Structure 1
């Protein structure tokens, strides 16, 4: 079960991207049509969840599903989408703490449209209407588009998806002219260092284990936009949520980087930092004080003008696996996966900046001295222990390369840290691409 899903189940709060439902008899056409409407609206909102087994409005659990469970499987939900949606929505379905959760991806380059009517009741179509395009509105409600304003965000996401597909198609051979945007690596270093200082202060304030201050992974990037565009602050959290759903086409492990939670007090908030005062207020989320699980003690910051950093423990220190001990191992496999998430996140966020041409990265692994290479799911031959305590890896690539050549970027950023263990260890882009085949354990039901 994903930690993000666990959060939604333990602390249910309905919002535009999460719909809580009591158990429905999905053999009844009216219930299938209503569910299809919510699925379409959430997909057109940028993705989200439908969680069954909660009473409305009390948000209390209603116990076991009393209806035919076959309707609550991947095949059962897919059948509903095949009947009512054009294009069909490829959802993941899982059971978590006795609740069925439908994970609904964002629409692609066209919105989800209803292609069939729901049942007729008293001479009226109920549930879903053929030809309608549904969106989410406060309430929350799943309602058809009725005015021009409702189209704006939906069209924006369609255009972004087309842009991403175009960048992949162009490939690394057709790069935009270089150096048309300023190199902001000094800004990135300042942001990276300030985020680390804030994280260390949070650990101390909350009396977390002392070794976390010097054993961490920190991943940062900055979008180079020559026109100095920025995302509207009031839209930044929703944009991050959209990007988070988009990057699950590559990595979908259940604890993704830069995920914006909703529950107070762990929901992201706007703040400022004297160390980066010229950046202005930025969005920050800290799980250090409110989350009890050690591997999830993390902090991230995102500025509206496209500078990002996330810092978290070295997660192999928290593995419940025979023979594993904290501060003992380093996994290149996990490091590659985290870097791929970062590169995919940067590619998605950069599309929100019309003039963006390049992204610079700054990645740091601290506390590796004395560790050896190992992974709980991969066999590594004995390698020397690292003799240096920290490694910094940097690089700068075009927006096109982020989409078309991401395995090579991950391999390049990973190289400095693996060579700290073994100077001869070179993990290629082909190795990264092969590893990526196991980065989606929570489902592969994507277009």
Structure 2
């Protein structure tokens, strides 16, 4: 069955895009007639596939002030169909893989092709042919993503270790998925919960800081999430490394777990929304965008407020994406899949941050809070989940907690998230969160199939 994708999630990719290890930006490549253009695209796709998946945005170019449309927009976007894209991949890739292609509207309603490159490969992907005249793509070459960002062949033991470790992890995940098909409901043993006092203090400090930032905004300003919000907070315990302040930005950028177009703890670089140091932590508020003509134009779902402390604390507050749907008024819907995706993304972020901040074993104390639930109906925004009407929440807020070993997050993500979020779904007239839904949605998220 084809995966139904949310236009809102895809459109997130086009909001202030910047090239990164998992995102390539290309101009209007003529993928039908220009063999060099085909090779350029193929090289990017091969490198992203070996990187663990990612995205290629076509028709844009980067400038000092941000991404703008590239010159030479074709009269039709027929040259960017799924058949054209996958024909190129088939010609260059061994083993071949399938890319999803979407034509997505940017904020100004201009349409751009977005290519989703999968990254769940169990062995390195190589080029089975060279580009025109032996240029751009080399025969039998393996390409990976490197800082810059750029697509190149592995040249160090570290490059090869990362690539092979990713392939082995995909094999492990496939094996675990097969086991889950046979045995469902097993929850990994969690470490003894740490005393919540410090995490609660951290949450209170972050909420107070957010309240101060939005205090002067109008009551109905989207940036202050007038219809409710959810937040994720966690505390990492272990042997913390001493990180010089100047190294924090790069460390936090490496810790972003980008599985969707709008990842948690996104680290923007554009003036007006870039993170900044304050009170010994790193803080970012997208709702305070100072770029001329942008302040007051963000919706609640794209006005993230986050803070990360080098002491191992993190906090992210975000409004409801469902409240931005044109066909329904705000504060009426609650999507059945989004909490699973969001909790999965933040837990994977905690795992990556722990690897960058802590030497040796680490424990994650995790808290999730939803507010503004009363009166919302459980639904499937994308329409790919069959739900009967009538699941309505009457309780307005709920907080859920868990404590796990950081090393157990990736291999046991469904078993962690299912019991964590089950009480949230139960508020909607005793809705029983199916384990199969958690498994399937996390599988889509981790493969980039959003």
What TM-score do you get using the length of structure 2 for normalisation?
Answer: 0.72
Match runs of 1:315-330 below 5 Å: 315-321=321-327, 324-328=328-332, 330=334
**Counterpart for residue 78 of structure 1:** 86
State the 1:218 CA deviation: 1.0
Given that residues 74 and 93 in structure 1 are in contact (C-alpha distance below 8 angstroms), is that contact kept between their aligned partners in structure 2?
yes
What per-residue deviation string (whole Å, max 9, x for no partner) do you get for residues 129-181 of structure 1? 12434355677654444x53xx53563364356457547857898968956xx
**Counterpart for residue 287 of structure 1:** 286
**Counterpart for residue 159 of structure 1:** 165
1:367 aligns with 2:372: yes
Query: What SS does structure 2 have at the residue aligned with 1:76?
Result: helix
| Distance of 2:78 and 2:29 partners within structure 1 | 10
How many aligned positions are there?
412
1:116 aligns with 2:121: no
What per-residue deviation string (whole Å, max 9, x for no partner) do you get for residues 370-402 of structure 1? 425432556455467525x43211112344653
- Aligned-residue RMSD, C-alpha: 4.3
1:201 aligns with 2:212: yes
| Distance of 1:417 and 1:67 partners within structure 2 | 46
Given that residues 22 and 55 in structure 1 are in contact (C-alpha distance below 8 angstroms), is that contact kept between their aligned partners in structure 2?
no
1:240 aligns with 2:247: no
1:221 aligns with 2:225: no
What TM-score do you get using the length of structure 1 for normalisation?
Answer: 0.73
Q: 1:393 to 1:5 in 2, by over 3 A?
A: closer
| Distance of 1:78 and 1:114 partners within structure 2 | 14
**Counterpart for residue 126 of structure 1:** 135
Given that residues 28 and 60 in structure 2 are in contact (C-alpha distance below 8 angstroms), is that contact kept between their aligned partners in structure 1?
yes
| Distance of 1:396 and 1:63 partners within structure 2 | 53
Given that residues 92 and 443 in structure 1 are in contact (C-alpha distance below 8 angstroms), is that contact kept between their aligned partners in structure 2?
no
**Counterpart for residue 386 of structure 1:** 394
Q: 1:184 to 1:34 in 2, by over 3 A?
A: farther
1:307 aligns with 2:303: no
State the 1:217 CA deviation: 0.9
Q: 1:237 to 1:340 in 2, by over 3 A?
A: closer
| Distance of 1:402 and 1:189 partners within structure 2 | 22
Given that residues 114 and 128 in structure 1 are in contact (C-alpha distance below 8 angstroms), is that contact kept between their aligned partners in structure 2?
yes
| Distance of 1:137 and 1:409 partners within structure 2 | 32
Query: What SS does structure 2 have at the residue aligned with 1:62?
Result: coil
Query: What SS does structure 2 have at the residue aligned with 1:396?
Result: strand
Match runs of 1:406-445 below 5 Å: 406-420=413-427, 422=429, 425=430, 427-430=432-435, 432-433=437-438, 436=441, 444=449
- Runs of at least 5 residues in structure 1 that lack an aligned partner in the other structure: 246-251, 274-279
Given that residues 339 and 410 in structure 1 are in contact (C-alpha distance below 8 angstroms), is that contact kept between their aligned partners in structure 2?
yes
Query: What SS does structure 1 have at the residue aligned with 2:369?
Result: strand
| Distance of 2:77 and 2:333 partners within structure 1 | 46
Query: What SS does structure 2 have at the residue aligned with 1:49?
Result: strand
| Distance of 1:266 and 1:4 partners within structure 2 | 20
Q: 1:301 to 1:205 in 2, by over 3 A?
A: same
**Counterpart for residue 264 of structure 1:** 271
- Runs of at least 5 residues in structure 2 that lack an aligned partner in the other structure: 1-5, 105-109, 180-184, 290-296
Query: What SS does structure 2 have at the residue aligned with 1:339?
Result: helix
State the 1:363 CA deviation: 0.9
State the 1:194 CA deviation: 2.4
What per-residue deviation string (whole Å, max 9, x for no partner) do you get for residues 92-116 of structure 1? 3222233222233457565543332
Q: 1:60 to 1:313 in 2, by over 3 A?
A: closer
